[in-house]
Structure 1
Amino acid sequence: MNGQLRKNIVPGLQVNIVLKQDQRSGKLTKGIVKELLTNSPTHPHGIKVRLTDGQVGRVKEILSGPAEA
């Protein structure tokens, strides 16, 4: 799944994001979504999220469903 649709992204998903400082290189960072920061239903560069470790970036890939508690 791609990260351009807000409806596809929920807290707990494992995703690859691109951080602001990595936009030129395209380096991806893996993490678990803590909260969604983009309010619009879609975004051409990916929905902006905050990961559980506090990093903020745009979702490029959704890797797996929500982690079971």
Structure 2
Amino acid sequence: MQGTKRADINLGTKVKIVQKQDQRSGKLTEGIVAKILTNSSTHPHGIKVMLESGIVGRVKELL
């Protein structure tokens, strides 16, 4: 499932995100959502979240 809809993502959801510096390579980082940073209901590049580890990125996959 893609991470472009805010309604699909909840706190505690396990996701794979792409960090800003990894956007060219497409490297994904796995973690659990601690905070949702995007206010709009959808975003074409993925909803921006902060993981429990403090890493910020856009959601590419929901696990």
Settle same-fold status: TM greater than 0.5.
Answer: yes
Give the partner amino acid of 2:54. G
After superposition, residues 29-40 of structure 1 pair within 5 angstroms as: 29-40=29-40
| TM-score normalised over the length of structure 2 | 0.99
Shift of 1:42: 0.2
Report the aligned-residue RMSD.
0.3
Cross-structure match for 1:54: 54
Cross-structure match for 2:19: 19
The superposition leaves residues 23-49 of structure 1 with CA deviations (integer Å, 9 ceiling, x where unpaired) of: 000000000000100000000000000
Give the partner amino acid of 2:3. G
CA–CA distance in structure 2, aligned partners of residues 35 and 52 of structure 1: 8
Give runs of ≥4 in structure 1 deviating > 2 Å.
none
**Unpaired segments ≥5 residues, structure 1:** 64-69
Cross-structure match for 2:42: 42
Task: Select the structure of larger CA radius of gyration.
Answer: 1
